[in-house]
Structure 1
Amino acid sequence: MTSTTLTVATANTCTGDLLRTPGGLEPFRATGAGLVGLQEVFGVTEGQLRAALGDVGLELTHWHAPAGLVLAHDPRVATPIGEPLVTTLKAAGPLLRVSDHWHERGMVSAAFETEAGPLTLSTAHLIVFARAHARTKQVRALRAALQREPLSRGPHVLTGDMNHYPRPAAADRAMHEAGGLTHVPLHEPTWRISGSKHEWMARLAAAATRRDLASFDAQLDVVLYRDLRLLDSAVFDIASDHRAVACDFELGS
């Protein structure tokens, strides 16, 4: 088996704004992403989604609309194998029609064949960190899912908006360890407090503690991996309230 380099990217689309923005996915083309995980894909049709992906050379692997989760691939470097797997962490709440905060929470996974062998890609979106108890339950459910077949073995990249603040908590670290996953270290925030609906609270806290507002930024967006070698990672701006992450991995040996 030969080795090859594969770029995997992830982004929260801000309830689909990224996909409705002309050229919104162009930054992903610039990274050379062969596999992409997207979250909060709402307010677009499947045709619009396929067109936006196609504009940057990507094909839709699977869209789990109830949770707004999308996997996409570059057919030149990866071929889907079998059916995708959907893991529901929390069913949609009663306010689904009026608030995206109440959509289903979960993870979608798909297997791919690459020049260097098989690889599984997953993307997930957990509930907001302010609902700490509910979020911890979802992390534990995700941990259990990652320890079952077919997700428990082989090269795996898990991306997503994990909604911890400001970094992974104890439950997240336990989930990483149980799944044999390594957390990609990021040196830049993927979510900025400035311009968010929480900015006013952070400004009060910043004034009270004499901290810079930017110190309340966070790394909500995550890439985890197993049985691969990380070569590089980068955080970049997109037309969303989150920033995107791209990672270069070496597959095979």
Structure 2
Amino acid sequence: MSRPMGDSHRRFLQSMMSNGIISSSQAKVLHKHCCETHGAHYAHDRLDEFIDVINTQLQPMFMNIRKGMSEEDGLQYYALVNMAETDVTRMASDYADNELELFRKTMDLIVDSESGSASSTDILNCADSLQTKKLKKKETEHVLNKFVQDKWLNEKHGEYTLSVRCIIEMEQYMRIIYQDLIKVCHVCQNIALQCQICENPRCGIKMHLPCVARYFKGRSDPHCPSCNDFWPHEIPEILRSQSQGSQSLSSSAKENTAPTPSTSATRRSRRS
């Protein structure tokens, strides 16, 4: 028999609805805050069990709190996902048709690239050939900024990547649409876009940069964990964004307690 939600669970869910996505560190802080506020039993190592109770109640509404890893820093995140909509149409209430088309084309560029990123120049070129309605340069830049602000994309030095929120929410859609272009990380088994690839043509496994850093930590002679060939890539340092990981939630997000859930890189050839 499923365990019913208490006020501590409802407060946690309301914050998830307000934020959309939070880091694992934020989730732990929020878990403790919710339990202490409502006098519920708190165990620091029972966060996932706490979330499972919420997910059981969300299931009839086709919603779920899912966990995923950032490809950039390796930090874990929790996102509230609408399971009823598996493709880009989940964004339809916030964006116009041509903006959604731009997002699809941006995703195409990112998934098709070897680096897991798309340059602003390539995206601007796509905006000039939209089937719905063309976007001018300034309009495109504004839409891209909105994608970043809404946590669908990340941007660094003019290069755009899919955010952890996007990968968590769009995973099923990406696996269906991109099929063989989508590979998983050999270490964590999550979708790998920003990654290193084994250069053995008979192997070709992928590993996220944070996973590479952890797997090869302390090894002076790294070899592929699959084929045992020498790993020729530079081994990155383990990335830790302390300011991001320890960032606390806003007071207003914590205080919401009455949730009402509602539902330019080398391109690889596509499979026709």
Could you say which structure has the larger radius of gyration?
Answer: 2
Normalized per residue, the structure richer in helix is 2
Normalized per residue, the structure richer in strand is 1
TM above 0.5, one fold?
Answer: no
